Amino acid sequence: MVQKRKVPERKCVVTNEMRPKKELIRIVRNKEGEIFVDESGKKNGRGAYLSKEIAVIDKAEKTGILNRHLNGEVDAAIYQKLRQIVDGK
């Protein structure tokens, strides 16, 4: 009997849905307080996950939920980068 590997799931901070990690984008704040998009999903630091949807990113920007999750100021450039990733550019 072959065991099926468990798919790692994470919760989107905007929609509060559990989804496979691959369907989410990770945003990280490291010890130096820098906030950036972690496309590899493996960098050290406090991470927050967002669904790969423009509406979710817009809502995150409007509500400032990432600022609260990461205890820092998320730059507008981060949201631009997130939108580019979602658009596949």
| Local structure of residue 75 (DSSP, 8 states) | P
pLDDT in tens, 61-88: 999 999 999 999 999 999 999 999 998 8
d(CA 38, CA 29): 10
Backbone angles phi, psi at 79, to 5 degrees: -65, -35
- Mean pLDDT rounded to a whole number for the chain: 93
Its CATH class, for the domain covering 9-87, is: alpha beta
Give the other-Cβ count within 10 Å of 62's Cβ. Answer: 9
What is the domain partition of the chain in residue ranges?
9-87
Grouping H, G, I as helix, E, B as strand and the rest as coil, residue 36 is strand
Global confidence as pTM: 0.89
